[in-house]
Chains A and B, each alone.
Chain A
């Protein structure tokens, strides 16, 4: 069966062990999670997880059903039509062409966010695919460190 990329959002009660309950469903089936973000939902006792995974449709559907079954889980969204964004921070040596890097970042909704004596840090925020493109493009400027945030998503 074809593997498809999936984005799932899960609203959970913000309590100890709830994250393990969710991730156990993936690990127990030998499924890798590509990215996972968690943060509290404002003014509530809930948190929102955004999970990006890929796998057979049958197993993904089963995981979604099992997610529904977990006691501290309020809602599970399997996104079809969504807005998805991801952030990345990249550190470059100051010896690189800083203005080029700044221009490129701007094309990906980003900018230079920190300038130090030896390094600069650039932030971009865009669709995950475009973030990957940016990271590819800037390889020539010898990035020293890269961190991606993982996706967050909202249904349109």
Chain B
């Protein structure tokens, strides 16, 4: 069928089952927006900034497991979106981001709103395309969705010049994808799997090291079965929170820079690390030469480049973690002797008893950790938890009682302040029946505060809970600990908006909270009213995230409690 490039974009999105596009129009993408106006196959949500469009698409993708789609114009529209692309790239989130470009005849002439978009996105996308002919569009869009969602997922950027969206060509979306040079390895090598299983059976102190790849692989059910059938304890990375239920007896907690004492000590004492979809990030390992020093390492990952990148794997297995774990379960069958691990589990229980994740309550002031726990008590499984970046993010990862995969949506690899609110809008869009909470700080929330307008207008009732300590708290914490308390540019006490007036001017509801009772009332009210809300919670100003492995330190050398008052 003959149609314009712009119509092809619409037809391809519908064929891919897209129900939501987040975006912002502009000159170079107008032909496509004209076709969006005419169609009713999907909804378009107008964000108020292109960065937010991409973060919303990320939140949508993370909560739904589907490919998130964002649409933007050329030049500044695109450059605004780059942070979102980089964020998705770091956290392996499947996205297709479509940008307008100046017409082919003007490319390279410093035309109005021209920038070399594919040149910029090359290093922060899984793949990108500059479409030079409309007849290429069906193939490219189909490949884009396939590449984004297969193998190790990631963002794919498609840049389309304005004349190409006007050009007429044949549209046929039924051609199969023929990518000779891209064939991700899905099935793990069975001999390697057998060897790994033997290592598991023979280990005395094995430990599951669960990573975000499990969430991407939709493998949390299989992992839960594997953990419970073997009786082997597990630590989760930040990205894997929710893989096991918070109350699973075999879950030690999160490991890493702000991991629990027990999780980090278990990693230091284990004799066999079973890494599933984890990539040995520096925030997890601390000092590499001391990381899991006594252990052999099984590393299952779909990305061969992740294996032995930082820590040498004794049993490397390239493949999709779900299939590999199913094969491991088959092979291990009844060969596990649970009594073997009893002393190991006792050791871990002692670690947990010695220094549990905890905080000190103080009279007359709300502790930020309490807020997280309280949201958990009141909403638990009914909420999806997005976060921004900083102290509040770490407390959320430490203290929220996660019950399922895809419940925790946060910017892990890139650490993007301003991620949380737009992502929570995408989450709400993907999972309408659950409450979408954004746990944020007084620094982060202002980085995409304009999205209040999007949320109100598009009826995406996100509840933003601001843990307001009037500091850029995580940087302040480092300044306190490592820069002799020189709080350079982190004290926000003289730079606070009136959050309630702010949200109300956009048509949402604001709450000022200084007591626990006020917090309960505010959260209940916001949930009942089902509105866009800002709950501004005044919390203890100088609370530090603990435990903490100082940057570059060894996991077993943790700072345990804040002495600062």
Footprint of A on B, CB under 8 Å? Answer: 118-119, 122-123, 126-127, 130, 147, 179-182, 303-305, 309
CB-CB < 8 A to B182: which residues of A? Answer: 71
CB-CB < 8 A to A68: which residues of B? Answer: 304-305
Known: A17-B130, A71-B182. A28 touches B123 (CB 8 A): yes
A65 near B304: Cβ-Cβ < 8 Å: yes
B122 near A66: Cβ-Cβ < 8 Å: no
Decide if the interface of chain B is mainly helix, strand, loop or mixed.
mixed
**Closest residue of B by beta carbon distance from A72:** B181
A17 near B118: Cβ-Cβ < 8 Å: yes
B180 near A74: Cβ-Cβ < 8 Å: yes
A69 near B123: Cβ-Cβ < 8 Å: no
A24 near B123: Cβ-Cβ < 8 Å: yes
CB-CB < 8 A to B180: which residues of A? Answer: 74
Quick one: which of B123, B130, B303, B305 contacts A62, CB cutoff 8 A?
Answer: B305
Alpha-carbon distance A72/B190, docked complex (angstroms): 28
Alpha-carbon distance A86/B478, docked complex (angstroms): 54
B156 to chain A, nearest CB (A): 9
CB-CB < 8 A to B126: which residues of A? Answer: 71
Known: A16-B130, A62-B305, A62-B309. A73 touches B122 (CB 8 A): no
Alpha-carbon distance A69/B126, docked complex (angstroms): 9
CB-CB < 8 A to B130: which residues of A? Answer: 16-17
Alpha-carbon distance A28/B123, docked complex (angstroms): 8
Q: Could you write out 8 A-B pairs with CB less than 8 Å apart?
A: A12-B181, A17-B118, A20-B122, A28-B123, A62-B305, A68-B304, A71-B179, A74-B181
Task: Kindly list 16 other residue pairs between chains A and B, CB separation below 8 angstroms, not including A62-B309, A73-B181.
Answer: A12-B181, A16-B130, A17-B122, A20-B119, A28-B123, A62-B305, A65-B304, A65-B305, A65-B309, A68-B305, A69-B303, A69-B304, A71-B147, A71-B181, A71-B182, A74-B180
Footprint of B on A, CB under 8 Å? Answer: 12-13, 16-17, 20-21, 24, 28, 62, 65-66, 68-69, 71-74
Alpha-carbon distance A16/B123, docked complex (angstroms): 16
**Closest residue of B by beta carbon distance from A12:** B181
A117 to chain B, nearest CB (A): 40
CB-CB < 8 A to A66: which residues of B? Answer: 305
Alpha-carbon distance A65/B118, docked complex (angstroms): 22
**Closest residue of A by beta carbon distance from B143:** A71
**Closest residue of A by beta carbon distance from B304:** A65
Alpha-carbon distance A151/B195, docked complex (angstroms): 42
Alpha-carbon distance A125/B379, docked complex (angstroms): 74
CB-CB < 8 A to B181: which residues of A? Answer: 12-13, 71-74
Alpha-carbon distance A69/B304, docked complex (angstroms): 8
A24 near B305: Cβ-Cβ < 8 Å: no
**Closest residue of B by beta carbon distance from A45:** B180
